[in-house]
Structure 1
């Protein structure tokens, strides 16, 4: 049996770190080597973490190679001999490196998300033994589109809520063009939250903004709903995204496909607010305040920083989009991998949040 050599960007970030664990768990007999592209400034940290990961998972540290580079540079700024070695051996590339912040400035988002992905796309064309290129996109390349959104759709003249969405869209356009010449799989997760059973996450963003808000307004005599609450909130636990990616990125069925790793049975924002308020504070929201009023309040920096909520997060309360994930569900059938009911994951999520909410390293910087 031919052994595989993997190359990942985005390490030592949360998704890349945990995807490595998932790949080792699912495909360890097939893995010969794993190359991890890291910025020079992160080399020491990445090396220590990968040694620890090898120790805790019982794998030989020699299967990991931490290589320094930069996706924003041509040929990824890889040292010549290392680049040649990788070009001749790598069979699977996983591109996860990106700026995920909803409030990211436009120039930074374009440099990393678009220019970086273009460099990766050009580089994978030079790989002599490539079997699959897997790109981590987002369901929110749909931008401000509303209604049912399908996995085979991308360009529909949409506008975007923020620079993150816009740049991930332009990056996916580049990857989509590559499908004709390179065996490619595009993964579009919903908004990723912590592990479904442990609640573990490394940062409190996305759905956790709602917990941050509840934590800071818990003293109020009653909690109002924000907006009419009709739009769906598509939040998926990290372990579902990782298990599905590990399967679809290797299985022959995934070649040339784009997948929505989204919740097939999502709750509305109204339902989510109720579920979280009851789980975290034991209170049921009453009444409604307009999203425009909340956005107006969050436009003041001190208010944003106190509540620990990004202004841009409020846009997800108003866009009524529904993500069809029929291809993902069909191609995962028989694998045992299914998206859990979000309600069943809220208990561990809240417990983890309570334990670590005072850990400043888990909160993103609000400007």
Structure 2
């Protein structure tokens, strides 16, 4: 029995893989790796084997490309993957400012190639597909886990291509492909250690606050007491996927993996500011004008540490139902921690590790 994973050695895949294999005795993992990430992947495997001795000899790396037929796997190696029983598709471009051609090639065409690969596996038990809560786009109201096409508008090519990819997965499910869909929110570092691989999302806000004087001026581009920020720590995401993946009841379901009680914009800003020793001065500004100014004035984004694309999410009209997630995880001991419990840990890690930036592995 074999598990195939895309997206290794990425942020989620590196943490998820040891959990999956701990729960699946006598199963080997094959990780599809782009050649340019081969050296990093080999180092990551060694680190995992040192930390988790049960992994030794159970992880193989295969060069490939999710945008190519047969995932770009050499035919000689492809023949050895007839026994794949599970596919975990995590690979995607996670970038709010992504080029539309790249986003479509990786997020949509890549997902189609993964689906074709799954259909060709005679022993496939399930595809586990990692989507995003932001297939919701700018939907106004509570976006449900079972919903998808709600005539929503999208803020960027990341959202629209992840939506199109999930449409493909759902169509394959309707045709009989066994699958489960997971929709993480904005994934931040580990709630216990703060560990992360890049600083984006709310980390942009932290950097924006850090660069200011003792009184930090913050633009209120939306209703700060009403807009919710869809944050979720990595450890909850991987623990939830690991747990849900082996439940018979999870087959065919979609799970929103995010905080069921997310912080408001005001709570997020004030919590970060307090930890950084700042006092906040709120200034109400229209979103469109603020976004245009930050995005068009040369050097403004670099000066502020806050990209224009991130501002949209501080005026988001969407909240997310987590009914499927909370119901099926009940009694397992897996639950999303409160934002207040880990916010300081994220900032402490950020302060101790200035070597990271906002760039994602593509």
User: Which TM-score band (shorter chain)?
Assistant: over 0.9
Looking at structure 1, the residues matched to 159 and 26 of structure 2 have their Cα atoms a distance apart, in angstroms, of 33
Which residue of the partner structure matches residue 9 of structure 1?
A: 6
Contact 1:136/1:188 (8 A) holds in 2: yes
Once the two structures are superposed, residues 206-258 of structure 1 have per-residue CA deviations (whole angstroms, 9 ceiling, x without a partner) of 11111011112x22644335223121111000000000001112221210000
* Distance across 2 between alignment mates of 1:316 and 1:31: 43
1:80 is matched with 75
CA separation of 1:31 and 1:99: change in aligned 2, threshold 3 A: farther
Correspondence list, 1:92-107, <5 A: 92-107=86-101
Kindly indicate whether residue 270 of structure 2 is the aligned counterpart of residue 244 of structure 1.
Answer: no
Pick closer, same or farther for the CA change 1:248–1:298 going to 2, 3 Å: same
Separation in 1, partners of 2:170, 2:192? 34
Q: Which residue of 2 aligns with 1:150?
A: 144
Task: Write out per-residue CA displacement over residues 18-41 of structure 1, whole angstroms, 9 at most, x where no aligned residue.
Answer: 11122234x05x242000000122
Matched, 1:89 2:83: yes
Tell me the number of residue pairs that the alignment of Structure 1 and Structure 2 aligns.
356
2:184 to 177, 186, 189: 189
Question: TM-score, normalised on structure 1?
Answer: 0.93
User: Hey, what does 1:41 align to over in structure 2?
Assistant: 36
Q: TM-score, normalised by structure 2?
A: 0.94
In the alignment, the residues of structure 2 paired with residue 292 and residue 244 of structure 1 have an alpha-carbon distance, to the nearest angstrom, of 37
Query: In the aligned structure 2, how far is the partner of 1:152 from the partner of 1:231?
Result: 22
Query: For 2:300 and 2:67, how far apart are their aligned partners in 1?
Result: 35
Contact kept, 8 Å, 2:2 with 2:85, in 1: the verdict is yes
User: Of residues 338, 342, 350 in structure 1, which corresponds to 2:339?
Assistant: 342
Deviations 1:119-172 (A, max 9, x none): 001110011111110000000001111101100000112110000000000000
2:201 corresponds to which of 177, 201, 206: 206
Q: Tell me the alpha carbon deviations over residues 44-63 of structure 1, each in whole angstroms, 9 at most, x when there is no partner.
A: 32123212211221135321
SS for the counterpart of 2:39 is helix
Contact kept, 8 Å, 1:103 with 1:310, in 2: the verdict is no
Q: In structure 2, do the counterparts of structure 1 residues 221 and 44 end up closer, same or farther at CA, with 3 Å as the change threshold?
A: closer
**1:307-339 CA distance string (max 9 Å, x none):** 222211111112211100101100111111011
Deviates more, 1:229-238 or 1:303-312: 303-312
1:233 aligned to 2:229?
Answer: yes
Q: 1:362 maps to which residue? A: 357
* Deviation per residue, 1:243-279 (Å, 9 max, x gap): 0001112221210000111211112112211111112
Instruction: Give the secondary structure class of the aligned counterpart of 1:155.
Output: coil
Structure 2, unpaired ranges of 5+: none
- In structure 2, C-alpha distance between the alignment counterparts of 1:337 and 1:151, rounded to whole Å: 19
Q: Is the 8 A contact 1:261 1:328 kept in 2?
A: yes
User: Within the alignment, does 1:108 sit opposite 2:102 as a pair?
Assistant: yes
Secondary structure of 1:224's aligned partner: strand
Aligned pair partner of 1:64 in 59, 62, 66 = 59
SS in 2 for 1:354: helix
CA distance in 2, matches of 1:31, 1:149: 39
Asked if 2 retains the 8 angstrom alpha-carbon contact of 1:22 and 1:246, the reply is: yes
Q: Distance in 2 between matches of 1:100 and 1:145?
A: 20
Superposition pairs for residues 234-273 of structure 1, below 5 Å?
234-273=230-269
Question: Structure 1 unaligned runs (5+)?
Answer: none
Distance 1:36 1:200 in 2: 22
CA-based RMSD: 1.6
Tell me the secondary structure at the aligned position of residue 217 of structure 2. coil
Q: 1:353 to 1:44 in 2, by over 3 A?
A: closer
Is the alpha carbon distance of 1:322 and 1:59 closer, same or farther for their aligned partners in structure 2, counting shifts above 3 Å? Answer: same
Deviations 1:169-226 (A, max 9, x none): 000000011113111000001110111111111100011111011112x226443352
Judged with a 3 Å threshold, the aligned counterparts in structure 2 of structure 1 residues 16 and 207 are, in CA distance, closer, same or farther, namely same
